[in-house]
């Protein structure tokens, strides 16, 4: 992580024109969280997603000493079908604190309730969360498989994303208590001239409703990496382009209790009713009522719209006019026109990464 952060910082400060806004406030938040033993809550950062390199590039905004302390650095969600296809890649991204995440378009194991989201909720909460003693041991898979063992014990502190593979379970460790998780809730890259965002997927609402206690939430607005790695760039496509303007704007910490307290209380009431019926549930694990009932869905919708509004507030400080109020709704993206990646009828360019 330190090496990658150094490259990103070098690129941002040496080869780009950068503008960081609100960084001092964000560094203060990180400084207070330096010692996991004294943290009282997790940290959730939420941003728009404009290019494949957003993460790790944007963390080049942090002075290098922050990259020397992975315990006080972000956990991210990375696509299983891109970042976890074999052992070397799994190793690279796992050491980079990226969690293997299935995308529904590419995997039957995708969606809101996959075990990786449970890990993310637990990372934000007051851990450690030990896997059950009787967790099945993963079968021995070939060297080319993405499986990784837990390096420190005899292989128990792992979780499986699909029932047979195996990855270290970060939330099983005490020093990961109240961690920092970053999420791009648009769920894919979205480049559009007017810099509007897609609707947010609901995973972010699980992180807010179910983490205990409510994490601190910092909305972040990113502009410019879309020029560094523009989707229309030509050969050599894999090379980031120097000489662009990059701006990263950190919003103020949201008071989670004030912004989401009402939703969290309704969620906890629902949960208490369900636990009354069928016994206690583990953090990040839900029964069907909490997954699919109208009330649960409504809570997640409302929560997701509020987080998106918080990111829009930061966007507004960059001088962009307000978006069309329909911009936050999934239905609006029916007009993107055309399925899959690439240039859409509404002028945007998307990419599933
Ligand atoms: C889980 O993932 C591993 C590695 O990608 C694969 O070998 C295995 O078949 C998958 N299992 C299921 C049930 O999809
Ligand atoms: C960067 O911003 C400056 C000032 O707004 C502008 O003059 C310049 O053309 C921009 N550079 C690029 C590569 O867009």
Nearest residue (CA) to ligand 2, atom 4: 245
165 CB within 6 A, ligand 1 = yes
Nearest residue (CA) to ligand 2, atom 3: 245
Label residue 328 by pLDDT band (50, 70, 90).
confident
Q: Cα of 246 to ligand 2 centre, how many Å?
A: 10
Percent of the chain with pLDDT over 90: 73
Strand order in the sheet with 180-183: 17-21, 245-250, 216-223, 43-47, 180-183, 74-79, 98-101
What SS3 state is found at 242?
A: coil
- Which ligand sits nearest to residue 100's alpha carbon? 1
Q: Considering the chain, what is the average pLDDT of its residues?
A: 91
Please indicate whether residue 236 or residue 210 has the higher confidence score (pLDDT): 210
Give pLDDT tens digits for 292-326.
999 999 999 999 999 999 999 999 999 998 888 77
What is the model's pLDDT at position 347? 74
Residue 287 pLDDT > 70:
yes
What is the model's pLDDT at position 302? 97
What is the model's pLDDT at position 139? 63
What SS3 state is found at 163?
A: coil
Q: Cα of 141 to ligand 1 centre, how many Å?
A: 9
How far apart CA 301 and CA 352 sit, in angstroms, is 22
Nearest residue (CA) to ligand 2, atom 7: 245
CB-side neighbour CA atoms (13 Å) of 178 = 19
Tell me the angle at which helices 115-124 and 203-210 cross, rounded to the nearest 10 degrees: 40
Give pLDDT tens digits for 158-174.
899 998 898 999 999 99
Q: Cα of 38 to ligand 2 centre, how many Å?
A: 43
Percent of the chain with pLDDT over 70: 93
Q: Cα of 167 to ligand 1 centre, how many Å?
A: 12
Q: Cα of 293 to ligand 2 centre, how many Å?
A: 50
What SS3 state is found at 75?
A: strand
From first CA to last CA, the distance across the chain in angstroms is 20
Residue 338 pLDDT > 60:
no
CB 167 within 8 A of CB 286: no
Nearest residue (CA) to ligand 1, atom 3: 165
What is the model's pLDDT at position 193? 86
Q: Measured from the CA of 160, which atom of ligand 1 is nearest?
A: 1
Give pLDDT tens digits for 242-280.
999 999 999 999 988 899 999 999 999 999 999 999 999
Label residue 194 by pLDDT band (50, 70, 90).
confident
What is the model's pLDDT at position 334? 57
**Exposed / middle / buried, residue 66 (Cβ in 10 Å: 0-12, 13-18, 19+):** buried
244 CB within 6 A, ligand 2 = yes
Q: Cα of 81 to ligand 1 centre, how many Å?
A: 11
Q: Can you give the pTM of this predicted structure?
A: 0.93
What is the model's pLDDT at position 274? 97
Residue 291 pLDDT > 90:
yes
Residue 105 pLDDT > 80:
yes
245 CB within 6 A, ligand 2 = yes
Give pLDDT tens digits for 135-153.
666 666 677 889 887 766 6
């Amino acid at each position: 992580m330190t090496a990658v952060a150094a490259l990103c910082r070098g690129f941002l400060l040496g080869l780009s024109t950068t503008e960081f806004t609100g960084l001092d406030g964000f560094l203060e938040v990180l400084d207070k969280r330096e010692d996991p033993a004294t943290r009282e809550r997790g940290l959730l950062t939420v941003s728009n997603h404009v290019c494949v390199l957003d993460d790790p590039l944007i963390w080049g905004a942090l002075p290098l000493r922050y990259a020397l302390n992975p315990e006080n650095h972000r956990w991210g969600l990375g696509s299983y079908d891109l970042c976890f296809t074999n052992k070397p890649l799994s190793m690279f991204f796992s050491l980079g604190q990226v969690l293997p995440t299935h995308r529904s378009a590419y995997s039957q194991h995708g969606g809101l309730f996959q075990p990786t989201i449970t890990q993310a909720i637990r990372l934000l909460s007051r851990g450690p969360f030990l896997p059950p003693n009787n967790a099945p041991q993963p079968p021995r898979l070939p060297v080319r498989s993405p499986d990784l063992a837990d390096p420190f014990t005899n292989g128990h502190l792992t979780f499986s994303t699909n029932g047979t593979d195996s990855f270290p379970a970060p939330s099983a460790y005490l020093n990961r208590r109240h961690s920092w998780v970053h999420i791009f809730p648009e769920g894919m890259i979205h480049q559009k001239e007017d810099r509007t965002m897609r609707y947010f997927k609901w995973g972010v609402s699980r992180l807010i409703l179910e983490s205990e206690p409510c994490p601190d939430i910092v909305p972040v607005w990113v502009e410019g990496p879309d020029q560094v790695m523009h989707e229309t760039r030509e050969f050599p496509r894999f090379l980031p382009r120097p000489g662009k303007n990059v701006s990263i704007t950190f919003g103020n910490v949201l008071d989670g209790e004030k912004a989401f307290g009402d939703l969290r209380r309704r969620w906890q009431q629902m949960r208490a009713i369900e636990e009354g019926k069928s016994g206690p549930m583990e953090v990040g694990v839900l029964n069907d009522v909490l997954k699919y009932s109208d009330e649960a869905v409504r809570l997640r919708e409302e929560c997701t719209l509020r987080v998106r509004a918080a990111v829009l507030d930061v966007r507004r400080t960059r001088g962009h006019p307000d978006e069309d109020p329909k911009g936050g709704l999934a239905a609006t993206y029916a007009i993107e026109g055309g399925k899959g990646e690439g240039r859409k009828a509404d002028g945007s360019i998307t990419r599933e990464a």
